[in-house]
């Protein structure tokens, strides 16, 4: 008989954002006349930059000709995009990353979830709490955890991110092999300094561990003293893989394009202690399970790095950061503690009640959708996350409603 992967049975009943969608749907069915403003999931609302849509159209026109038609492209991505990424996102900031160390994909969510496939099941994994659910759930599916009990899975090392440590976790006391870090952080919006990030890189080098560094929100960093890439830290190329996305930067959530950086100097080890190139292993996995991002999408992504594209992307980022600033000011005036919103599109707000109660209160009293912090882990209980991804008009309207509900 066909049997299942029973590790899937350890997963909690449903995914966080599915729970939110069900509650919102139920509210709308029972209140059809009430407008709901969604500041929950990190989905952008503004159109694609004009430079990107123009490149998209041109590429589609190319595909309509015999001379310009493109079939299967290189799984790793076209050279024109990989080179633009390497030059603009890394070398321009002093990070020595070459084009052939970049793997173009259809999403950072996919890559962060898939990368763990390269490792054995007996490694020790450190995961922040609160955490983006994909890091956690994919390792549960792979069989690297025990059962869920008292809000956490056994067999994992949890890195508490709390107000006391400014939502930047401390090094683990026990030895770990794989470390997930995300800055600017999703969900808390917190950032990490160069010195703090160097501490993690040094730890990984000493422990022969690997850091999976999610930098999907780096474009929202306003403080020039903060690192945008882990490769700005000396030695990181030996111990870190970085994930980036065009989703929030250039509005590609529905267009799908991202990339993962796997330096050739980065290694992992077999049971005998022999080192193996992670670049080669990921390339093998990538070529086996992925057929590449479409040519028109990659041409649109490359337009992000044109002079026009850079200006339009900056304007998009500034638009959402204006929203974040308005949310922050409202919460300050209402007397709520929060983090984020300064170098991140997310605002992590501490309430005086259970986070799902906070969620339901804002939904029913204000018609505003947020994300309950408990859905991101034990340390998220008592918090909610508000996203700046919406129109400024809707954010203004939502904050007026929130102000009325919370006063």
* Per-residue pLDDT of the chain in tens (407 residues, 90 and over written 9): 999 999 999 998 667 788 898 999 999 999 999 999 999 988 999 999 999 999 999 999 999 999 999 999 999 999 999 999 999 999 999 999 999 999 999 999 999 999 999 999 999 999 999 999 999 999 999 999 999 999 999 999 999 999 999 999 999 999 999 999 999 999 999 999 999 999 999 999 999 999 999 999 999 999 999 999 999 999 999 999 999 999 999 999 999 999 999 999 999 999 999 999 999 999 999 999 999 999 999 999 999 999 999 999 999 999 999 999 999 999 999 999 999 999 999 999 999 899 999 999 999 999 999 999 999 999 999 999 999 999 999 999 999 999 999 98
For residues 298 and 319, state if they share a domain: no
For residues 106 and 182, state if they share a domain: yes
For residues 227 and 359, state if they share a domain: no
For residues 167 and 266, state if they share a domain: yes
The whole-angstrom separation of Cα 120 and Cα 14 is 26
Q: What is the pLDDT of residue 14?
A: 63
Final residue of a structural domain among 263, 279, 305: 305
The whole-angstrom separation of Cα 222 and Cα 197 is 18
Q: What is the pLDDT of residue 34?
A: 93
Instruction: Name the domain count of the chain.
Output: 2
For residues 41 and 88, state if they share a domain: no
Q: Which two tokens stand for residue 289?
A: 């399970």
Pick from 49, 313, 343: which is nearest to 191 by CA? 343
For residues 272 and 249, state if they share a domain: yes
106: domain range?
67-305
Angle, CA 229 vertex, CA 228 and CA 230 arms, to 5°: 130
For residues 245 and 394, state if they share a domain: no
Final residue of a structural domain among 305, 324, 353: 305
Final residue of a structural domain among 305, 334, 358: 305
For residues 300 and 312, state if they share a domain: no
CATH code of the domain containing 220: 3.40.640.10
Q: What is the pLDDT of residue 13?
A: 66
Q: What is the pLDDT of residue 319?
A: 98
**What number of other Cβ atoms are within 10 A of residue 194's Cβ?**
12
Q: Answer yes or no: is 59 within a domain.
A: no
For residues 335 and 289, state if they share a domain: no
For residues 116 and 235, state if they share a domain: yes
Q: Answer yes or no: is 82 within a domain.
A: yes
The whole-angstrom separation of Cα 56 and Cα 329 is 38
- Give this prediction's pTM: 0.96
Write out the chain in H/E/C secondary structure: CCCCCHHHHHCCCCCHHHHHHHHHHHHHHHCCCCCCEECCCCCCCCCCCHHHHHHHHHHHHHHCCCCCCCCCCCCCCCHHHHHHHHHHHHHHHCCCCCHHHEEEECCHHHHHHHHHHHCCCCCCEEEEECCCHHHHHHHHHHCCCCCEECCEECCCEEEECCHHHCCCCCCCCCCCCEEEEECCCCCCCCCCCHHHHHHHHHHHHHHCCEEEEECCCHHHCCCCCCCCCHHHCCCHHHCEEEEEECHHHHCHHHCCCEEEECCCCCEEECCCCCEEEHHHHHHHHHHHHCCCCCHHHHHHHHHHHCHHHHHHHHHHHHHHHHHHHHHHHHHHHCCCCEEECCCCCEEEEECCCCHHHHHHHHHHHHCEECEEHHHHCHHHCCEEEEECCCCHHHHHHHHHHHHHHHC
Digit-coded pLDDT (tens) for 63-113? 999 999 999 999 999 999 999 999 999 999 999 999 999 999 999 999 999
For residues 330 and 211, state if they share a domain: no
């Amino acid at each position: 008989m066909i049997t299942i992967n029973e590790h899937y049975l350890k997963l909690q009943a449903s995914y966080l954002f599915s729970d939110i969608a069900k509650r919102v749907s139920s509210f709308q069915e029972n209140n059809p006349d009430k407008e709901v403003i969604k500041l929950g999931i990190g989905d952008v609302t503004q159109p694609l930059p004009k430079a990107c849509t123009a490149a998209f159209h041109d590429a589609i026109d190319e595909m309509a000709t015999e001379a310009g038609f493109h079939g299967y492209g290189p799984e790793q991505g076209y050279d024109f995009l990989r080179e633009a990424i390497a030059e603009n996102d890394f070398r321009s900031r002093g990070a020595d990353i070459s084009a052939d160390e970049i793997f173009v994909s259809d999403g950072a969510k996919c890559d962060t979830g898939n990368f763990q496939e390269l490792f054995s099941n007996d490694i020790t994994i450190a995961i922040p709490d609160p955490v983006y659910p994909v890091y956690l759930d994919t390792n549960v599916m792979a069989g690297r955890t025990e059962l869920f009990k008292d809000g956490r899975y056994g067999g994992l090392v949890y890195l508490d991110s709390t107000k006391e440590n400014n939502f930047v976790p401390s090094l683990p006391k026990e030895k770990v092999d794989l470390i997930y870090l995300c800055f600017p952080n999703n969900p808390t919006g917190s950032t990490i300094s160069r010195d703090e990030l160097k501490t993690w890189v040094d730890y990984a080098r000493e422990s022969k561990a690997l850091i999976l560094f999610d930098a999907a929100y780096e474009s929202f960093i306003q403080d020039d003293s903060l690192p945008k890439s882990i490769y700005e830290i000396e030695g990181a190329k030996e111990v870190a893989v970085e994930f980036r996305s065009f989703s929030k930067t250039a509005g590609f959530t529905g267009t799908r394009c991202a990339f993962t950086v796997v330096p050739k100097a980065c290694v992992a080890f077999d049971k005998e202690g022999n080192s193996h190139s992670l670049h080669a292993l990921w390339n093998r996995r990538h070529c086996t399970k992925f057929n590449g991002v479409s040519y028109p999408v990659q041409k649109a992504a490359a337009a992000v790095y044109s002079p026009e594209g850079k200006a339009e992307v900056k304007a998009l980022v500034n638009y959402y950061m204006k929203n974040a600033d308005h949310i922050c000011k409202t919460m300050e005036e209402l007397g709520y503690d929060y983090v984020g919103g300064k170098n991140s599109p997310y605002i992590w707000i501490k309430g005086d009640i259970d986070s799902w109660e906070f969620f339901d209160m804002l939904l029913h009293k204000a018609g505003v959708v947020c994300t309950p912090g408990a859905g991101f882990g034990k340390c998220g209980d008592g918090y909610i996350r508000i996203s700046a991804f919406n129109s400024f008009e809707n954010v203004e309207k939502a904050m007026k409603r929130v102000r009325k509900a919370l006063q």
